């Protein structure tokens, strides 16, 4: 075979080998499935109220998802954090006195495989009351500015700002939880937080934190912006645990208010941290404070190195691995922090990874 033809033949052969290898890798990756165990079933205590009305719905389904006797919990759901979300569910159910009265509202990307996520949840929690709501990332992607950590730029991080639009109108109050936490107390206590006459949110707030550090000098040096906090005593609060009055949110059109600040951020850099600052701009100083026991946050370390942290002093009802380090990732890497051992009992992972036949 002449040399030019031989070179051409080898080039085509090499290309085909790489192409075949890529296809094999893709198919293999598609068949690798995270195997999760089925969780125990949890039952209500005798004094729990009924959340179904058989007269309205013979199956009890629609009244369950609209019941004001239920505890409504919203959690985001995606493949990267699926183990975290499953641990949230298990911890909530295990420590609830009325676990059958808990309704989960899962928000996932519109591009996600909803049927797979639904099957995954149903397999581990066959008796769970839940619905999945696709979130169209296009509605917020155009407003997202880059932050100090790329994970914070995921559109699903902003879904909490759209819960009032995503969930049924009959849901008037919801507890929003991040996917990197566990509860060790009854969520009904948190859900029952009195919101008073006007506040939209309740959350643990931290007035000792340096509030000015959450915004840039551009923000503080511009009176037309910084005066938004006039007549308020703003304090930092973590948006990973919130009790939200969705009726008041809808009536006040707070999604639009948050988007307006995100529009300003696109024009001038007024903050560095993802979805948190717009919440602070709209709500800081006007929320109902919740006991710090309901958000022992920061266990994932800072946003850069994710170093180990200790608990804050005081009682604990909820542990939150906010920050870069996630307990499942550190456990898988065999480099856990001491407090990751508290998350491990809620991990439903059956085996690291099993190749489907």
Bridge partners of 181, per DSSP, are 320
pLDDT of residue 213: 94
Would residue 168 count as lying in a domain?
A: yes
By the 8 A CB rule, do 314 and 217 touch? no
Would residue 299 count as lying in a domain?
A: no
Q: Using pLDDT thresholds of 50, 70 and 90, give the confidence band for residue 10.
A: very low
193 or 56, higher pLDDT: 193
- Evaluate if pTM is beyond 0.75: yes
Contacts of 302 (CB under 8 A, 6+ apart): 323, 324
Strand, helix or coil at 331?
A: helix
Strand, helix or coil at 337?
A: coil
DSSP string, 55-110: TT-TT-HHHHHH-SSSEEEEEEE-GGGHHHHHHHHHHHHHT-SSGGGEEEEEEEET
What CA–CA distances, in Å, run from 85 to 44, 138, 179, 227? 22, 23, 5, 38
Tell me the pairing of strands 102-109 and 129-135.
parallel
Would residue 209 count as lying in a domain?
A: yes
Which pLDDT tens digit goes with each residue over 58-74? 444 457 899 999 999 99
Give percent of the chain with pLDDT exceeding 90: 71
Give the Cα separation of 353 and 357 in Å (integer).
13
pLDDT of residue 1: 53
Q: Mean per-residue pLDDT for 212-229?
A: 96
Strand, helix or coil at 355?
A: strand
Q: How many independent structural domains does the chain possess? A: 1
Average pLDDT of the residues of the chain: 86
Checking if the pLDDT of 51 tops 60, the result is yes
pLDDT of residue 33: 64
Would residue 161 count as lying in a domain?
A: yes
Would residue 191 count as lying in a domain?
A: yes
Domain holding 255: CATH number? Answer: 3.90.550.10
Would residue 177 count as lying in a domain?
A: yes
Would residue 151 count as lying in a domain?
A: yes
Would residue 250 count as lying in a domain?
A: yes
Domain that holds residue 194: 71-293
Least confident of 77-91, 107-121, 139-153, 184-198: 139-153
Checking if the pLDDT of 288 tops 90, the result is yes
Strand, helix or coil at 251?
A: helix
């Amino acid at each position: 075979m002449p040399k030019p033809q031989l070179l051409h033949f080898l080039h085509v052969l090499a290309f085909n080998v790489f192409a075949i290898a890529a296809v094999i890798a893709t198919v293999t990756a598609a068949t690798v499935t995270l195997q999760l165990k089925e969780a125990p079933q949890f039952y209500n205590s005798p004094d729990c109220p009924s959340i179904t009305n058989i007269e309205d719905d013979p199956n009890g389904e629609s009244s369950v998802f609209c019941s004001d006797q239920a505890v409504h919990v919203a959690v985001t759901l995606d493949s990267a954090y699926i183990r975290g979300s499953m641990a949230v569910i298990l911890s909530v159910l295990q420590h609830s006195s009325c676990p059958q009265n808990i309704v989960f509202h899962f928000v996932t990307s519109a591009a996600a495989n909803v049927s797979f996520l639904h099957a995954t949840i149903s397999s581990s929690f066959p008796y769970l009351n839940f619905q999945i709501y696709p979130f169209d990332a296009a509605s917020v992607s155009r407003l997202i500015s880059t932050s100090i950590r790329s994970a914070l730029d995921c559109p699903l991080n902003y879904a909490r700002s759209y819960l009032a639009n995503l969930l049924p109108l009959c849901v008037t109050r919801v507890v929003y939880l991040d996917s990197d936490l566990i509860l060790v107390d009854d969520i009904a206590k948190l859900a029952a937080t009195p919101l008073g006459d006007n506040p939209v949110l309740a959350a643990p707030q931290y007035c000792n934190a340096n509030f000015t550090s959450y915004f840039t000098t551009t923000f503080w040096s511009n009176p037309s912006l910084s005066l938004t906090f006039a007549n308020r005593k703003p304090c930092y609060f973590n948006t990973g645990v919130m009790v939200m009055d969705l009726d008041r949110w809808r009536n006040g059109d707070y999604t639009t208010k948050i988007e307006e600040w995100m529009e300003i951020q696109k024009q001038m850099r007024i903050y560095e941290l993802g979805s948190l600052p717009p919440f602070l701009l709209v709500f800081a100083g006007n929320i109902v404070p919740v006991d710090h026991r309901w958000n022992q946050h920061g266990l994932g370390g800072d946003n850069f190195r994710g170093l180990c942290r200790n608990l804050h002093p005081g009682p604990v009802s909820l542990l939150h691995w906010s920050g870069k380090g996630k307990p499942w990732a550190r456990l898988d890497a065999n480099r856990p922090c001491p407090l990751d051992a508290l998350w491990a009992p809620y991990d439903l992972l059956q085996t690291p990874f099993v190749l489907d036949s």
